[in-house]
A = this chain, B = another copy of it.
Amino acid sequence: MVVRGITVQVFEGQVEAFKAATIRNRAGSIGEPGILRFDILQNSDEPTLFFLYEVYVSEKATLAHKETDHYKTWKTAVESMMSAPRKGMAYTVIDPVDEDEW
- The answer to the question of A43 belonging to the interface, with a C-beta cut-off of 8 Å to chain B, is yes
Verify B94–A19 contact, CB threshold 8 A: yes
Copies in the complex: 2
Interface size range of chain A in the complex: 20 to 34
Which residues of A in the span 54-102 have a Cβ within 8 Å of any Cβ on B?
89-96
Most buried by B among A5, A19, A53: A53
Verify B91–A51 contact, CB threshold 8 A: yes
Distance, CA A96 to CA B53, complexed state (A) = 11
Cβ of A3: which chain B residues have Cβ within 8 Å of it?
A: 39, 41
Verify A43–B94 contact, CB threshold 8 A: no
Cβ of A53: which chain B residues have Cβ within 8 Å of it?
A: 53
